[in-house]
Amino acid sequence: MTSNSRSLDHLPPLPRAFYIRDPRRVARELLGKVLVRHDRGSLRAGRIVEVEAYLGRKDPAAHAFSGPTPRNQVLFGPPGHAYVYFIYGNHYCLNVSCEPEGRGGGVLFRALEPISGIEAMARARHLRLPSVPRPGELRLLASGPGRLAEALGITRPRDNAKDFASPVADLQIVDDGFPPARVALTPRVGITKAADHKLRYLIAGNPFVSGKR
């Protein structure tokens, strides 16, 4: 699952129309795409291998369930924008708004397979990796939403409401043509409401997903 960093740098971001759909469909089709952070002429990138769909005001586990607030207003805005929140006092989590404006749907990014800028990701995570890291060591970079955000330098002040579809955004999602072999669905992780709904999408057998595969 490698991809040339130069080719990633020249790929256009996914268009707004990609995100205007049901979060379940967006979540499934995000698998295999590449999340890219442009940073002062360099980039950090990882293939999206695990996400969760949240269904807005009809989903008790969603931040949008109770309606718009100053914290979650991005979810109710135009699709394709970053919604970043802070959790447990020390982790940021990255989401993208979905569906037409006003509906509050979104997708949470849970894990990436690092493919470019690995040294920069390790520095951001305060990790020391060997010159040829093994998959188990690379998994420490972006397996889990908090690790993912830290690896790409994602914070609420820097990235909340950022437009993924903008060609000049420093945070984008691109398609390098990688097709996931098989997609698996499981219940979402770490929630108590609507916990039995199978809305966690992952690339089956991928060693970089968080928790149970």
Q: Which domains does the chain have, with CATH numbers?
A: 5-203 (3.10.300.10)
Q: Give ∠ CA 149-31-13 in degrees, rounded to 5.
A: 70
- The percent of residues in the chain predicted with pLDDT above 90, rounded, is 85
Per-residue pLDDT, 212: 63
pTM beyond 0.85, yes or no: yes
Tell me the per-residue pLDDT of 95-137, one tens digit each, with 9 for 90 and over: 999 999 999 999 999 999 999 999 999 999 999 988 888 878 9
Nearest-Å Rg of the Cα atoms of the chain is 16
Distance CA 173, CA 112 (A): 12
pLDDT band at 90 (very low <50, low <70, confident <90, very high): confident
